[in-house]
Amino acid sequence: MKIQDLREQESFRCTYMRGGTSKAVFFKKSDLPTDEKLRDEIIMAVFGTDVRQIDGLGGADITTSKVAIIGPPTRPDADVDYNFGQVQMGQHKIVWTSNCGNISSAVAPFAIDEGMVKNITEPITEVRIHNTNTQKVLISRVHVKDGRMQYCGDFHLDGVPGTASKIELDYKLTYGATTGKLLPTGNVVDELDVPDFGKIQVSLVDIANPVCFITAESVGLRGDESKPELAALKDKLELMERIRAQAAVKMGYVDRAEDALEKATTRPMLSIVSPARDYADYASGKPILAKDLDFLARVLWNQEPVDTYTGTGTICTCVAARIEGTLVNQVCGPEPEKTGLVRFGHGRGINSVAVTVSRDADGGFVVDKAVFNRTARRILDGIVYVKKEVINAAMGEE
């Protein structure tokens, strides 16, 4: 940890990066304290501890209140370790139990530029990333020139202005990320009994991150609602959190549904799926046509609707679409069977993943391929300052 004395504050080196449709503050592990309690207090101070994060770098939105810590690999089949944290706005808490697919796309670029990847090849470098949250390895393929990440390119990602260099992320090795099984209960459809609502069918799938899938129809939604529309439906959000809490029990994250909000804040996330239909990007008005989609999906992460769609949720959703009998498979059109490419519409556009799922000798499902494309950009390198009183309090000093 390198700390520079500046009156009443201490300094830490960091990088601000966009990964996919999210942003995060990136730290090298060596630039933070090894004591996890002190580390967390410093990170929360960096972001700002009130709900607006007005005194820090956080953007007062779940897609910008993210942290990534990158260090040397702790397993022989990886190039780097990557620890992801969701910094809770106004809650004085960081959730370290899940990965973020969007931020994952910025890990290889950061690690390459920091000289942390030994084997650099041009024009494509493959980086094996050990996500310490899930203990899984994901594979990133990025464009490199003269030993540096190439950020500029012609690939457009819905939800991000302009174009950039395409980054491929392969998540085929991340099945059973938190439960040890692709289908945690062994079923393609389960039935939950939700208090003050009744029985509802769900599909529980665990790859990249665990997701509980429900149909829009089952909770009285159309399926093409935008983030602002969903955010205004407080009764629906409360119902969906109760469904998610029951799913957390079913998947073994908590013993009691009432503990899910505190002890399983992001596991599982909840996705609402429905058949494809025409709608428009709520921010730009751009038409999104059913003929270009296999189905629609909206996701809740950290109890909030997401503007676009989570990266790990995208992987899980598209894999679920190829598992015969799941609710996602039931609303999905026939094209993925022919092309291997699953496409769904979210609030700002279309996400797609190249997915291949096969059967093993016992009749179970095996993910042979799960590749999706993102972009990333290094926005800022610098020094962030934290009040010494925060550090002293965390260390138990006056």
Q: Is the pLDDT of residue 5 over 80?
A: no
Mean pLDDT of 91-104: 94
Domain 190-369 class in CATH: alpha beta
- Higher-scoring residue by pLDDT: 375, 1: 375
pLDDT in tens, 209-236: 999 999 999 999 999 999 999 999 999 9
Q: Is the pLDDT of residue 6 over 70?
A: no
pLDDT in tens, 147-185: 999 999 999 999 999 999 999 999 999 999 889 999 999
Q: What was the pLDDT predicted at 130?
A: 98
Mean pLDDT of 71-85: 98
Q: Do domains 5-166+377-394 and 190-369 have the same CATH topology?
A: yes
Give the C-alpha separation, 254 to 395, whole Å.
31
- Where are the chain's structural domains? 5-166+377-394, 190-369
Q: What was the pLDDT predicted at 1?
A: 47
Give the C-alpha separation, 395 to 249, whole Å.
36
Give the C-alpha separation, 184 to 161, whole Å.
37
Q: What's the CATH number for 5-166+377-394?
A: 3.10.310.10
Mean pLDDT of 85-106: 95
Residues 6+ apart with CB under 8 A from 120: 112, 144, 147
Q: How confident is the model at residue 112 (pLDDT cuts 50, 70, 90)?
A: very high
pLDDT, mean over the chain: 95
pTM value is 0.86
Q: Is the pLDDT of residue 302 over 60?
A: yes
How many residues comprise the chain? Answer: 398
Q: What was the pLDDT predicted at 59?
A: 93
pLDDT in tens, 98-107: 999 999 999 9
Q: How confident is the model at residue 363 (pLDDT cuts 50, 70, 90)?
A: confident
Q: Is the pLDDT of residue 396 over 90?
A: no
Mean pLDDT of 184-198: 97
